[in-house]
Amino acid sequence: MPVLARKPGALRNGAPFKDWVLPAGIDKIRRRLAALDDGNRQMVSILTAVLQDGLQAVEAACAEALREGVCSADVILNILARQREPTAPVTIMTTPQALRLRSEPVADCARYDSLRRAI
């Protein structure tokens, strides 16, 4: 992958990648991106995502992009990023009794005013 990141043209012209067997969704994306000027660069960014997200997640993102009729690395990487986002934490509507203060603090702004006048 580091070689492809530096030289994305190797994806098109490199001997190791000529007969490369990819999963169906990723292969469809590769064939569609091959028609674009920056298709190799986009495909390399998609393949680089495999290192972080795994092959199954990237393939699922490619399949989702194909279902939506969009063929772009930005869209696929966005789908992967949305899948990585953590779920929102549960909001506590009422404070449990064990966490309530027994004596709430009193705001004493006069103390800070006296400190400010002393300087």
Q: Which residues constitute the domain of residue 23?
A: 2-86
Q: For residue 76, what pLDDT is reported?
A: 93
Q: How many domains does the chain have?
A: 1
- For residue range 30-85, list pLDDT tens digits in order: 889 888 888 888 888 888 888 889 989 999 999 999 999 988 999 999 999 998 87
pLDDT band for position 9 (50/70/90)? low
In a domain, 10, yes or no: yes
Contacts 24+ apart (CB under 8 A), 89-96: none
Residue 38 lies in a domain: yes
Q: Is residue 43 part of a domain?
A: yes
In-domain check, residue 6: yes
**Identity of the amino acid at 61:** A
User: Which pLDDT score, from 0 to 100, does residue 74 have?
Assistant: 93
Dihedral sign, CA of 32, 34, 35, 38? positive
26 part of a folded domain: yes
Does the global pTM surpass 0.85? no
